């Protein structure tokens, strides 16, 4: 009866699996801060994407972890860089069976760990960064990405990327704008996963957790610049923002259940404090109930398997 009258449902096609691929690995490497999540080798990444597709997961979001980093994040635009090679690998394997998304940001590729190139005074140079994002978008599109996900929170990033893609005939590549990305403590395990070199913080370009109207302004700007989808990140601490964004727009709204949100459930469950599986389903249902039509979660493949079981 409860299943019959449920107002909110989960479906594998609404889930996106974030994945990390580490240059130089021959076997997956566990991420200590995220139990059950690994840095993949190119081969293990391919297997993980195929498994996600076979369980009906809607998409994957790829993050690259390079061996070498420099001030301009040159590895991000190297066609033979780890992320771009990984995109070619998985698109060759799965084609259009699953949506292949690429994180479009410089932070994993810069030696200073910021999401953009730096000015002489050490601040992030917004406009110079836009040029790098446009280059990155073209390389990712050439590698086969169906969707690019600009996550750096630079002003004008969507317009710069859309203009570059359209000018080269890549109108078919969609933009998932990280329109609402808060300066959150919940990103900590992710920074371990990508071996971040960041010193300081990103509060000059990520949003203040105290603000919600600012989120709506950022969404409006990204849509005006050509975003096809918009994202709220993190998810669980910002369900009110997810709801407000979903009510305000007529494009799909994604929410990213980030590394810290994942790790809290896993660690609490390991300590015997909560029922792991129930907590996972409850958290994902709450994100969908708040209005997200797409949920990025590290449990995507596992949960998709559960959802294919009658009575789940």
Spatial distance between the Cα atoms of 65 and 40, rounded to a whole number of angstroms: 10
Catalytic residues: 181, 233
CB 296 within 8 A of CB 61: yes
Per-residue model confidence (pLDDT) at position 192:
79
pLDDT category of residue 15 using cuts at 50, 70 and 90: very high
pLDDT category of residue 310 using cuts at 50, 70 and 90: low
pLDDT over threshold 90, residue 3: no
Spatial distance between the Cα atoms of 145 and 137, rounded to a whole number of angstroms: 9
Q: Which residues pair with 231 in a beta bridge?
A: 254
pLDDT over threshold 70, residue 237: yes
pLDDT over threshold 90, residue 306: yes
Spatial distance between the Cα atoms of 60 and 42, rounded to a whole number of angstroms: 14
pLDDT over threshold 70, residue 241: yes
Percent of the chain whose predicted confidence (pLDDT) is above 90:
82
User: Under 8 Å CB-to-CB from 206, ≥6 apart: which residues?
Assistant: 153, 181, 182, 183, 184
Residue of higher predicted confidence among 101 and 198: 101
pLDDT over threshold 70, residue 201: no
pLDDT category of residue 77 using cuts at 50, 70 and 90: very high
Per-residue model confidence (pLDDT) at position 7:
94
Question: Any idea which residue has 């990984």 for tokens?
Answer: 86
Average pLDDT over every residue of 205-229: 93
Per-residue model confidence (pLDDT) at position 199:
67
Average pLDDT over every residue of 70-88: 96
- Report the predicted TM-score, pTM, of the whole model to 2 decimal places: 0.95
Q: Domain 2-307 - what CATH class?
A: alpha beta
Per-residue model confidence (pLDDT) at position 46:
98
Average pLDDT over every residue of 200-207: 70
What are 58's two structure tokens?
């809607």
DSSP string for the chain: -HHHH-S----GGGEEEEEEEETT-SS-EE-TTSTT-EEEPHHHHHHHHHHHHHTT--EEEEEEE-S--BTT-GGGG-TTSHHHHHHHHHHHHHTTSSEEEEEE-STTTBSS--SS-B-TTSSB-HHHHHHHHHHHHHHHHHTT-SEEEE-S--TTHHHHHHHHHHHTT-TTSEEEEEEEEB--GGGHHHHHHTT----S--TTTSBPTT-SHHHHHHHHHHHHTT-SEEEEESSGGGHHHHHHHHHH-SS-EEEE--HHHHHHHHHHHHTTSS-HHHHHHHHHHHHHHTT-SEEE-TTHHHHHHHHTSTT-
Per-residue model confidence (pLDDT) at position 203:
63
Q: What average pLDDT is seen over the chain? A: 93
Which tens digits make up the pLDDT trace of 117-159? 889 988 889 999 999 999 999 999 999 999 999 988 889 999 9
Per-residue model confidence (pLDDT) at position 256:
96
Spatial distance between the Cα atoms of 164 and 69, rounded to a whole number of angstroms: 25
pLDDT category of residue 188 using cuts at 50, 70 and 90: confident
């Amino acid at each position: 009866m409860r299943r019959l009258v449920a107002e909110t449902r989960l479906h594998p096609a609404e889930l996106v699996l974030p994945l990390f691929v580490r240059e130089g690995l021959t076997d997956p490497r566990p991420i200590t801060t995220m139990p059950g999540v690994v840095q993949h080798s190119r081969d293990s990444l391919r297997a993980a994407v195929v498994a996600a597709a076979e369980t009906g997961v809607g998409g994957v979001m790829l993050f690259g972890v390079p061996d070498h980093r420099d001030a301009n994040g040159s590895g991000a635009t190297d066609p033979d860089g780890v992320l771009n090679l990984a995109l070619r690998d998985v698109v060759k394997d799965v084609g259009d069976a699953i949506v292949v998304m690429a994180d479009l940001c410089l932070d994993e590729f810069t030696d200073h760990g910021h999401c953009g190139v730096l000015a002489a005074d050490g601040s992030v140079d917004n406009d110079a960064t836009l040029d790098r994002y446009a280059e990155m978008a073209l390389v990712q599109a050439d590698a086969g990405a169906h969707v690019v996900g600009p996550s750096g929170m630079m002003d004008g990033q969507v317009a710069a990327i859309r203009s570059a893609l359209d000018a080269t005939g890549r109108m078919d590549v969609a933009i998932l704008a990280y329109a609402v990305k808060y300066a959150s403590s919940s990103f900590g395990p992710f920074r371990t996963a990508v071996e971040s070199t960041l010193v300081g913080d990103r509060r000059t370009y990520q949003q203040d957790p105290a603000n919600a109207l600012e989120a709506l302004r950022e969404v409006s700007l990204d849509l005006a610049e050509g975003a096809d989808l918009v994202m709220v990140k993190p998810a669980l601490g910002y369900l009110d923002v997810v709801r407000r964004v979903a009510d305000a727009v007529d494009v799909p709204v994604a929410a990213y259940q980030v590394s810290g949100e994942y790790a809290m459930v896993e660690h609490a469950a390991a300590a015997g404090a909560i029922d792991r599986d129930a907590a996972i389903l409850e958290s994902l249902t709450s994100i969908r109930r708040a209005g997200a039509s797409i949920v990025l979660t590290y449990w995507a493949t596992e949960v998709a398997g559960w959802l294919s079981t009658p009575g789940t």
